[in-house]
Structure 1
Amino acid sequence: MKTIFDETLRTQLIERINTLNENSTALWGKMNLYQMLKHCRVYEEMMLGKNQYQRVFLGRLFGKMALKEFTQDDNQIKQKTPTLSQLKVKEKSGDIESERKKWIDLLNEYANPPEHEIVHSFFGKLSYEQVGQLVYKHTDHHLRQFNS
């Protein structure tokens, strides 16, 4: 399974992030480049345990079942998969370069990940392996969204 903990894969993702520019547009979804970069930064902060969000009701009902589906193989996250409300970025513009740098810095933290338990606001408690798989898939999903 592909994981953010694999240094080669992490480096490839960062190289793809660096191909994004102010002319990059989404192939699907409603986010613009700035919103996607900030969304991914906020997601990494959650997955590294820097921010915690309350579990959403639907996650309590279906989170474990959905987690199993997301982590059973290397299939990509489907287009137009809903975004958790806590991770939606409302502002339409901001400093693209700053958000890119923050996101890359957070991805680099997976070289020495924290050892505390991560609780995803939809999926619930995650194992080390699940964190690695979900972060890789989420990053790849949004880079594909912006054709990178």
Structure 2
Amino acid sequence: MKSFFEEGAYDELSSRLNNLNKDTTANWGKMNVGQMLHHCQMPLNIILEKKDYGVKPNWLVNLFFKKSMYSDKPWRKNLPTAPGFKIMAKKDFEAEKNEITSLLNELNTQRQRNDWQPHPAFGAMTKDQWGKMQYKHLDHHFRQFGV
């Protein structure tokens, strides 16, 4: 699995993001494109230490789910979403695209950083684990919308 911090990953993800438009439809799942973009901002806000969304450590989640966050195996379609990360409200595509673009740009400016804080649910993670998790989450949802 690629890492967000690898050379070229930011450019690839930005290009895929720019291939989305307000009429892009999902190949699976319940979110529309605006909701997906809002949802994808949440892990970016966590790594950038902007919001923690009330996420708390959970040993059961850590035991069974943490490694899948950054493993090389892509996530399967229709995985359940943690309740606090479900987006049900209508979202404006352009506003959400602008916000996620800003977050991706900010994270890219920090790609040389090595001192990442622990994840609020998963605890200590290496830079490589953080980078793979960010890439994998975005890749999953971009594939969901065919980009």
Alignment partner for residue 98 of structure 1, among 88, 95, 100?
95
Q: In the TM superposition, what is the alpha-carbon distance from 1:144 to its structure 2 partner?
A: 0.3
8 Å Cα contact 1:48-1:118 kept in structure 2: no
What is the aligned-residue identity percentage? 35
8 Å Cα contact 1:16-1:143 kept in structure 2: yes
Alignment partner for residue 77 of structure 2, among 79, 83, 101?
79
Consecutive unaligned residues of structure 2, counting only runs of 5 or more, are none
Instruction: Give TM-score scaled by structure 2 length.
Output: 0.86
Counterpart AA for 2:8 = T
Counterpart AA for 1:145 = Q
Match of residue 130 from structure 2: 131
Q: In the TM superposition, what is the alpha-carbon distance from 1:112 to its structure 2 partner?
A: 3.4
Q: In the TM superposition, what is the alpha-carbon distance from 1:47 to its structure 2 partner?
A: 2.4
Judged with a 3 Å threshold, the aligned counterparts in structure 2 of structure 1 residues 72 and 90 are, in CA distance, closer, same or farther, namely closer
Counterparts of 2:40 and 2:68, CA distance in 1: 21
SS in 1 for 2:101: helix
Counterpart AA for 1:106 = L
8 Å Cα contact 1:60-1:124 kept in structure 2: no
Counterparts of 2:88 and 2:71, CA distance in 1: 32
Counterparts of 1:147 and 1:48, CA distance in 2: 27
Q: Deviations over 1:24-54 (max 9, x none)?
A: 0111111011110111112210122211123
Quick check: which one's strand share is greater? 1
Moved more, 111-120 or 80-89: 111-120
Match of residue 142 from structure 1: 141
Pairing of 1:1-148 with structure 2 (within 5 A) = 1-52=1-52, 53-55=54-56, 59-73=58-72, 75-92=73-90, 94-113=91-110, 115-121=115-121, 123-148=122-147
Q: In the TM superposition, what is the alpha-carbon distance from 1:84 to its structure 2 partner?
A: 1.5
SS in 1 for 2:119: strand
Consecutive unaligned residues of structure 1, counting only runs of 5 or more, are none
Judged with a 3 Å threshold, the aligned counterparts in structure 2 of structure 1 residues 124 and 79 are, in CA distance, closer, same or farther, namely farther
SS in 2 for 1:125: coil
Aligned length: 143
Judged with a 3 Å threshold, the aligned counterparts in structure 2 of structure 1 residues 37 and 21 are, in CA distance, closer, same or farther, namely same
Counterparts of 2:129 and 2:145, CA distance in 1: 24
Instruction: Give TM-score scaled by structure 1 length.
Output: 0.85
